[in-house]
Amino acid sequence: MLATSGAQLLPNPAITNLRSHILPLTTILTPNIPEALLLLSNASIPAPTITSLSDIIAVAALVQSLGPKYVLVKGGHLPLKKDGTIATQEEEKSVVADVLHDGRESTVLKTGFLPSGNTHGTGCSLACTSNHLSHPFSHPLSRKRKTANLTPSSLQSSGNSSEPRPWKNDSRSCEERR
């Protein structure tokens, strides 16, 4: 829905249709924080100003109230300090947190922040992997889901953009990769 630059890629009427017709049928929705805030704004639901992990948890719960069974808010766009507040300086960036909400409770998945200029596509990879893990026994990784550490930081590469990434040149959808 949003480009890394912040540009809106989907027009508001399409977001309204997505929210009204697709989200109630969705098993797992994997927005990043800006996309989650856009969905809430489109639904005229006031969202908290994101200043800490507790605000991200609140946003995940609000987005889940729009209809998806689960919401995994990806926190890679907003690194945190050790105390759980938003890092504003490069040297403060310590943790990346993803929040999974199921309608009753939230699970926070934290991993150390890895400075890298090569993170394009990590959230998409996490979203695709989440899709596979949401279908029991549909993918070999589903057998390891209790021990898998699948967060944007664990998926990002630390080298240059020529480092091989298996998903980079694969145009198949998640469904086609099963």
What average pLDDT score do residues 161-172 get?
A: 44
DSSP conformational letter for 120: T
> Comparing 33 with 172, which gets the higher pLDDT?
33
Categorize the per-residue pLDDT at 151 as very low, low, confident or very high, splitting at 50, 70 and 90. Answer: very low
**Mean pLDDT of the chain, nearest integer:** 76
**Calpha distance 91→89 (Å, rounded):** 6
Whether pTM > 0.85 for this model: the answer is no
- Residue 1 falls inside a structural domain: no
- Give whole-number Cα distances, 23 to 28, 43, 66, 147, in Å: 9, 12, 7, 28
Domain boundaries, position 142: 12-177
The predicted-structure confidence for 101-140, as pLDDT tens digits, reads as follows: 999 999 998 988 887 666 555 556 665 655 555 555 443 3
7 in a structural domain: no
Q: Is pLDDT larger for residue 144 or for residue 99?
A: 99
Q: Which residues are CB-contacts of 26 (< 8 A; sequence separation ≥ 6)?
A: 67, 68, 69
Rounded to the nearest 10 degrees, the angle between the axes of helix 53-64 and helix 33-42 is 50
Note the pLDDT of residue 88.
94
Identify the top-confidence range among 82-86, 123-127, 148-152: 82-86
**Does 57 fall in a domain?**
yes
Residues of the chain with pLDDT > 90, as a percent, come to: 49
Q: Indicate the number of domains in the chain.
A: 1
